[in-house]
Amino acid sequence: MQLKHLNITVIGHVQGVGFRNATKHQARYLGIKGFVKNTSNGNVYIEAEGEALALAEFVKWCRKGPSFANVESLNVEEGSLSHFTSFDTRY
């Protein structure tokens, strides 16, 4: 199993709509480790580690998000592994 690390910035109306909680639920469902947090400019930032297929499914979900979100765009970059042990919300 080869792990990958993605840094994901979700842009749009993504704060105050349950995005972080839904992201945590989806990541745990897919077996992805990392974290999600709000940024000061209104975006959501995610670091995610997992298998390529699970990450592809996760990124696909992030493009839509939970039902009340309005995702305008997504910035996805590969990064170095951090070896996360869980998926958490950071503040």
* CB contact at 8 A, 84 and 35: yes
- Give catalytic status of residue 38 as yes or no: yes
* Catalytic residue of the set 21, 38, 41, 63: 38
* CB contact at 8 A, 51 and 34: no
Q: List all residues 6 or more positions away from 62 whose beta carbon is below 8 Å from its beta carbon.
A: 8, 10, 23, 46, 71, 74
* Catalytic residue of the set 20, 28, 41, 90: 20
* CB contact at 8 A, 49 and 4: yes
User: Would you name the residues annotated as active-site residues?
Assistant: 20, 38
